[in-house]
Structure 1
Amino acid sequence: MKNIMIATFDMEVGGVERSLISMLENFDYKNYAVDLMLYSHQGDFLKLISDKVNLLGEIPQYTTFRKSIKEILKDKKYSLGLSRILSKIIADILGQIKKVEEPGYYQMQLMWKYALPFLPEVSKQYDVAISYLWPHYFVAEKINAKKKIAWIHTDFSTVETDIKMDLKMWKKFDYIVAVSEACKTAFLEKYTELENKVVVIENITSPDFIREMAKEKVENSMLKDNRFKIVTVARLSHAKGIDNAVRALKILKEKGYQNIAWYVVGYGGDESLIKDLIKESKLMDSFILLGKKTNPYPYMKEADLYVQPSRYEGKAVTVGEAQILSKPVMITNYATAHSQVKDGLNGCITELSVEGIATGIERLYKDSEKRNILINNCNNTNFSNSNELEKLYQIVN
């Protein structure tokens, strides 16, 4: 039996975490013993971890990655606190010099680089160590394993990273797993010399589990809302484009479409910015933030249209889940969009802009026949793909 360790940040509600839960649900525990290392034991998905997985105890130094600088200093972890302050200052300066829209990726790289000397190693020897979420410095530097695998869930052509720093880290891995072909292509445009390491393994989806979860009874005024309901499940962050969604709904209201309500399930750093934008756009009764939900599926099930207004994605887990629930889906034309949706068949792809989102919704709102075609095509598709795990077992062995 092979010993595998999988490492990630925590089990907060998110697409990456949901895909990990599905993978662990479908894993072959007859042949593999799986240890799960969470830097922090927090998040509503903790209770969904398969009982066949051995959840390792927290290591105090690693819990700091989800804490504020103030909390770290309060915990007397001064070296880690100072490394965080330094990474923030340098990332902000680099961001201004290079005019980077989102210097957070630089900051995360630097945060790990400066923190590494103060982080303990894990003593157990593993056959395989899997780092499930970038940045992968923990598995690269602090785990003793015969084989190392790193997962990529994002479109790397859209994020600003220090390529030289990342390359040193990537080279410590035997394999890099991309969640879609488009994700792999975008990654290799940036890191061409890693071509022989990259394989594609799609996020594991579990249609029976999703359909079962969608039956859960929830109390919400959304269920009594008779308007045309758009639903989005996403982090409230720049990447997910929820600000563009608010602006698009404003355009539709100004055009006279008063019968549309947009519900967003999720939470994140941009919440206050988005709330201000909703207020400013006078959309308080029609653009509704439902907040964090461990089970988003009953809300998805209520959608007349599922919309993903993202600026970039690797492969949006939620889009696949909406398709499993036979919802008409519309996504923006981010770089990896065509690897997720066959335009006009199992969803629609619209221009990545505020006007593009508004136009795409208007078309589908007016064309119930088109929506029915999308619904029927999703109904007739088998979205189960647990066989993707065979690809993982092949590289593990």
Structure 2
Amino acid sequence: MKEILIASFDMEVGGVERSLISMLNNFDYEAYNVDLMLYSHTGDFIQLLPANANLLKESQSYKTFRMSIGQVLKSGKITLSLTRLMAKYKASMSKTSEPGYKQMQYMWKYALPLLPRIEKTYDVAISYLWPHYVVAEKVKANIKIAWIHTDFSTVETDVKTDIIMWQKFNYIIAVSEECKNTFITKYPSLKEKVIVMENITSPDIVTALSTEEVENPMTNDQRFKLITVARLSHAKGIDQAVKALKLVRDRGFKNIAWYVVGYGGDEEMLRELIAANGLEDSFIFLGKKMNPYAYMKAADLYVQPSRYEGKAVTVGEAQILAKSVLITNYPTAQSQVNDGVDGIICDLSVEGIADGIENLYQNDKLRKQLITNCLSKDFYNSKEMEKLYELI
């Protein structure tokens, strides 16, 4: 039986974590022994991990990467906290509008000498979330595989530092064809390593969970209801959503409410934006939900207002629930939705989102056609796992 290691950060509620759960639930445990290394044993999705996956003991050194610099200092790991400060300083010196990605790179790079090695030797080691330094440098394995879930054309990274890390891997798996293409554009020398494997979807689980009884303010809301399931972050474009709803209402469409399931660092800023636009009664945060599907089911339209995505898991889940879907034209959008068939792709702008909402609000026939097409689509893609088994 082959020994497999899968490494990731934690099991907080998110699309990447949800796709990892689906993959683990579809693994062939009769052929493979799977160890799961989570740097931090935190997150609501921990309880969803299948019993067949062996969760390795948490390392206090790795756990620090989900802690603030102040918390790391208090834990007594002074040298590790100094590497974090160094990473923050170096990232701040680079001319970039969003230094967070570079800071994360440098954080792992500088801390590597202080982190313990994984003693066991594996047949295959999989790093499920960038940056992939742990599997690259601290794990012994015959084959190493890294996953990419994002559109690398939209994030600013230290390319030279990244190339050194990527070269440690035999294969790189992209979650969509467009995700692969944007990655290769940035790292052309890695082209031969990249393979596409779609996120594994579990239609039966999504459908079953959508019928679960939850306290849902959407149930008694008679307005036309939009829903988005996403982190409250710049990448997900929730600020664009707020401005788009304001524009829609200014055009005279008052009977629309927008609900958001999710959490994140931008919440305070977004609440201020909502208040500034007088949308407190119609742009509503539902918070973090382990099961977002009951809320999706109660909506009339699913909207993904993102600035960039690798492939949004939630869009596919909304389609499984036979929802009409509107997504912005981020670079990988074409691999997510067949425009005009199983969803609509709008311009990536406040006006574009507003136009898309207005169109679908007024065009009941179009919404019904999108729903019909989703109902006839086959979302079962567990055969995608065969691509991974071939690599193994």
Q: TM class, shorter-chain normalised?
A: over 0.9
From 368, 373, 376, the counterpart of 1:372: 368
Map of 2:59 onto structure 1: 59
Which residue of structure 2 lines up, in the alignment, with residue 5 of structure 1? Answer: 5
- TM-score in terms of structure 1 length: 0.98
User: What is the deviation of 1:18?
Assistant: 0.2
**Separation in 2, partners of 1:81, 1:26:** 38
Give the letter aligned to residue 234 of structure 1.
A
Distance 1:228 1:128 in 2: 49
**Helix, strand or coil: the match of 1:121?**
coil
Root-mean-square deviation (Å): 0.5
1:60 is displaced (CA, Å) by 0.4
In the other structure, the counterpart of 1:28 is: 28
Distance in 2, Cα, partners of 1:90 & 1:169: 18
**Alignment partner, residue 109 of structure 1:** 105
Q: Which residue of 2 aligns with 1:128?
A: 124
Amino acid of the structure 2 residue aligned with 1:353? S
Determine the structure 1 residue equivalent to 2:276.
280
Give the deviation of 1:220 after TM superposition: 2.2
Runs of 4+ aligned structure 1 residues displaced above 6 Å come to: none
In structure 2, give the amino acid aligned to 1:240.
K
Using the alignment, how far apart are the partners of 2:19 and 2:59 within structure 1?
A: 24
Counterpart of 1:86 in structure 2: which amino acid?
M
Aligned equivalent of 1:162: 158
Q: How many Å apart are 1:86 and its aligned residue?
A: 1.1
What does residue 259 of structure 2 align with?
263
How many residue pairs get aligned? The number is 392
3-state SS of paired residue (2:383): helix
| Pairing 1:69-88 to 2, within 5 Å after superposition | 69-88=69-88
Match of 2:349 in 1: 353
- Write out aligned runs for 1:275-354 (5 A): 275-354=271-350
Secondary structure of the equivalent of 2:303? strand
Structure 2 counterpart of 1:391:
387
Q: Is the 8 A contact 2:150 2:309 kept in 1?
A: yes
Q: Within 2, Cα distance between the matches of 1:358 and 1:297?
A: 24
The residue matched to 1:141 in structure 2 has which SS?
helix
The structure 2 residue matched to 1:198, chosen from 187, 194, 199, is 194
For 2:275 and 2:139, locate their aligned partners in 1 and report how far apart those are by CA, in whole Å: 48
Q: Is the 8 A contact 2:151 2:332 kept in 1?
A: yes
Measure the CA separation in 1 of the matches of 2:191 and 2:248. 44
Aligned 8 A contact 2:149 2:175 in 1: yes
Shift of 1:261: 0.2
Contact preservation (8 Å) 2:218, 2:299: no
Distance 1:80 1:267 in 2: 28
Instruction: Show structure 1 runs of 5+ residues with no match.
Output: none
Q: Name the amino acid aligned to 1:156.
A: F
Structure 1 match to 2:50: 50
Alignment partners' CA distance in 1, 2:269 and 2:191: 39
- Letter of the aligned partner of 1:177 in structure 2? I
SS of the counterpart of 1:149? strand
